[in-house]
Structures are given as C-alpha cells and as structure tokens.
Amino acid sequence: MGIKVAKFGGSSVADALQIRKIKKIIQDDEAIRYVVVSAPGKRFAEDSKVTDLLYLCKTHMEHKLPYEQIFNVIRDRYIAVAHDLGIRLDLEKEFDEISREISEGASVDYIASRGEYLNAKLIAEYLGYDFIDAGDVIRFTEKGRFMEERTDELLREALAEHENAVIPGFYGRRTDSTIKTFSRGGSDITGALVARAADADVYENWTDVSGFLMADPRIVDNPKPIATISYKELRELSYMGASVLHEEAIYPAKAANIPINIRNTNRPEDPGTMITAEPDKKCGQVISGIAGRKDFTVIGISKSHLAGEKGFIRKLAGIMEDNDITIEHIPTGIDTMSVVLDNKMINGRLEEILEEMRQQLKPDSMDVFEDMALIATVGIGMAERKGTSATLFTALAEAGVNIRMIDQGSSEMNIIVGVENRDFNKAIKAIYGAFVEQEDAE
Ligand code: ASP
C-alpha cells in the first residue's frame, strides 16, 4: 500500500469539531501515515487565528503592554479543545514553560511557532500517533537560510523510526538551536518536505475548499472544479491571483514528483484537485482555468524603425530597474512596444517615469492606459487545439469588451489579455462561457 502525507490547515484544526473530522479522515485511510498540522485557525469569520494572537502577544511585549489577557485567550482555547476531546495532556505545564520563555524575552519566531507545536502535541495524543517535533527535523543555517538536504536527511531518519506520527508545520530550528519559522502559511511547505522524505505517493493538503475552481465564484456562477492541473499551469494561475497553496510548497513536491491533492475537510467525499507534474491530456478540456488581476498600467510606445534599434529594450528595462519596478509583460509589434506595469509598483510616480522614457527612448508617441486588468486563460490543451485564440477573441468581441493588449506565453499554455478594469468581470464571464459552458453543451 502506498504512503500518504496529509497536511491539515488552520480551519481544519480550529476546534474539537474539526479535529474529530480529521480523525475520521485519517482513520478511513490507512495510507495516511504522517500528519502535518497548522495552528488553530478561524472558527467563524470574525474569529482570530492563534498564530495572529501569538504575534500580538509579542507586539504587546515589545511596547511594554500587558499581554497576559491575550495569552490566556490562547490557553483557554487549547484547554477547551483538550477537554472536549477527552485528552489527558499536561497543557498547563506547556503553557507555564511558554510563559516563562516569553517573560525571558523569547524571539518572535519561537512565540509564533507554539501554535503549531501545541496543536500537533494535542492531535498526536488524540490520534494515538507519535509526536515528532519540527525543531528536530527542519533545519536552517544560523543566518536563517533553509537547509534542504540536511532537513531531508533528518526527516528520513526520524520517519524511519515512527510508523505513524504528527509533525507541527511552519517552523524548524537553526543550527544554533533557536526556532525559525517559514513565512506565513508555511505549514504547506512542511507538509511537502515530509511528503518527500516519506517517499509519499500523494501529498494531501486538506483545507476548507474542494480544490481549485476554473474561475472565481464571485464572478462566475458555480464554476466547475478543476480535477487535475499541472504544476506549470497552476503557477500561471496563482501568479494571476488564484491562491490556495503556499507557492514554495510546490517545489519540494514537484522535485520528488509527488502529486498534491487539495481536499476539503468539511466535504471529504469530494475528490478535490490533483496537481501533477505532467498535464493530464486525456481529460479533453482545452482550458484548465481563468484568473486575473486588476490595476495595471499599459504604456504603448511607437517609434519608427524601432525594430532595428539596438539596445532599446535594455534602455527600457534600465529605466524600470532604476525606479525599482519589475516589468510584468512586454508585448511587441514591429515599430511598437508596450510595457505592462503593476500600479502598486508605479506608486504614484507615473509622470516621472514617462518623462524618463521620453528623454531616454525618444519615442514618436506614447499612449498610456491606466486602470487595466490582465486576464490569463490557462490550459495545456490550448497548444494543440487550433482556433483557441479565435474562440477567446470572438467571445470578448461579442461581449463588447475592448482588448488593449495580447500576450501569449511561448509554451502556448496561456493567453493573457489586457482589458479595462471595468470590463474585468464581463470578460471573465465571456471567456468561461465560450470555453467551458459551450464545450459542455456540445
Ligand atoms: N499558522 C501559520 C500561519 O497562520 C502557518 C500555517 O498555518 O501554515 O501563517
């Protein structure tokens, strides 16, 4: 039988009710040998995540404000869960220890990590699994750089000694034994690292949605779920704003060729989305998903004989670099070139940048379109299918959407269109309609 590693996010382990659900999921699948958990997340919309409360304790301390009240809220939350689940764990002792460390000036990373640490201890006890402290198996250098190979060795040694175990996500230790966390949402990374070290067949990432949807449900009514998607396609979609998984979590799983299955703790019967190394060409769907972001500026540059001018792009890139701006896209024509920039990067300096461009690039003319949105239509199936762009552009034309920019990635895996912000929803609906609803009807 294969091995699965299951990581449960904050909302999946937020209270006793949720933890009962995860026990059922784990008991129903013998392949789940190792479990990685986040700290308790929100139980309802206005609730606070334990990690946020822990950071708040530290901020209070730094400002010499009392933090005990917040600390007690956290303590009561764990004690209530333990009580509800009938777990006998000396939580008071754990909290006394943490409280002592805090009063002695513990680092922010140590404090933040305790959310995962305590939750993993509690859940291990409830499941009857061993507890492996992430501090013993996830390693960083003294300067805080993640040590990938050393971590893999330590994890493999530890896993070999435990048939079943729970491991807290989010943190590890530096070589000088101090605690260091990954960036926020980092338990996803821990899960991927454990999956790799366990030579898992699947890395299950349990959250509160049944995987990815083909479009934003706030824009399209009942979009279809994505059953399978490749890492590359997902990268394109997440760049455009679709996010469920921590970006860095993809790399360890991808390197070890382990598929990631996004699952819903509240609907375990749903298959979720499977993220694989190779695209699933059999499924017949031309596109995998549509995602987009608003608030870009497109600067169109026209200059006669631009195509023959050496160093033009270098100068353009230099201007952006000097202004600390990354370029999103540079679609080019013969004597025209556009540069697409994120408004956040421009940060109110558009006039200055245009002036620099005028002086250094000496264009014949420049057109500026502010308030632009970019929409990516992504799918490995597009490269093989004739007429994909015709379908896309016809759909947008019929919806009365004016396209200001087009860019197709060299892999032919995506087509990006620039439209006005106000046409954003209309455009996404039209593309979804043409590719998904239309195909289903055929
Ligand atoms: N608890 C941490 C956070 O809220 C890490 C995680 O949940 O992945 O960011």
Specify the pLDDT at position 167: 98
Q: What is the 154 CA–ligand 1 centroid distance (Å)?
A: 22
Q: What is the 184 CA–ligand 1 centroid distance (Å)?
A: 5
Whole-number Å distance between alpha carbons of 292 and 427: 10
And the tokens for 434? 């043409």
- Residue ranges lining ligand 1, Cβ < 6 Å: 10, 38-39, 49, 51, 115, 169-170, 184-188
Cβ count within 10 A of residue 320: 18
CA 369 to chain centre: 30
Question: Which residue has its alpha carbon closest to ligand 1 atom 6?
Answer: 185
Whole-number Å distance between alpha carbons of 401 and 419: 7
Q: What is the 41 CA–ligand 1 centroid distance (Å)?
A: 8
If one residue of 49, 52, 77, 188 were mutated to test the ligand 1 pocket, choosing by the most ligand atoms within 8 A of its CB, it would be 49
H/E run at residue 133 = none
> Which ranges of the chain have pLDDT less than 50?
none
If one residue of 18, 37, 111, 116 were mutated to test the ligand 1 pocket, choosing by the most ligand atoms within 8 A of its CB, it would be 116
H/E run at residue 364 = none
If one residue of 18, 38, 49 were mutated to test the ligand 1 pocket, choosing by the most ligand atoms within 8 A of its CB, it would be 38
Specify the pLDDT at position 439: 66
State the chain's maximal CA–CA distance in angstroms: 78
Q: How far are the Cα atoms of 232, 255, 367, 393 from residue 14, in angstroms, in the given order?
A: 32, 31, 51, 45
Whole-number Å distance between alpha carbons of 385 and 388: 6
Spatial contact of 373 and 401, defined as CB atoms under 8 Å apart: no
Q: Is the pTM of this model over 0.75?
A: yes
And the tokens for 329? 């896209």
Q: What is the 86 CA–ligand 1 centroid distance (Å)?
A: 26
And the tokens for 47? 């609730």
Specify the pLDDT at position 241: 65
Q: What is the 38 CA–ligand 1 centroid distance (Å)?
A: 6
Specify the pLDDT at position 283: 61
Closest by CA position to 326, among listed 350, 342, 347: 342
Per-residue H/E/C for 276-324: ECCCCHHHCCCCCEEEEEEEEEEEEEECCCHHHCCCHHHHHHHHHHHCC
Q: Please identify, by atom number, the ligand 1 atom nearest to the C-alpha of residue 49.
A: 4
Q: What is the 325 CA–ligand 1 centroid distance (Å)?
A: 29
Specify the pLDDT at position 23: 98
Whole-number Å distance between alpha carbons of 278 and 293: 26
Specify the pLDDT at position 248: 75
CA 190 to chain centre: 14
Question: Which residue has its alpha carbon closest to ligand 1 atom 2?
Answer: 185
Spatial contact of 161 and 198, defined as CB atoms under 8 Å apart: no
Q: What is the DSSP letter of 44?
A: S
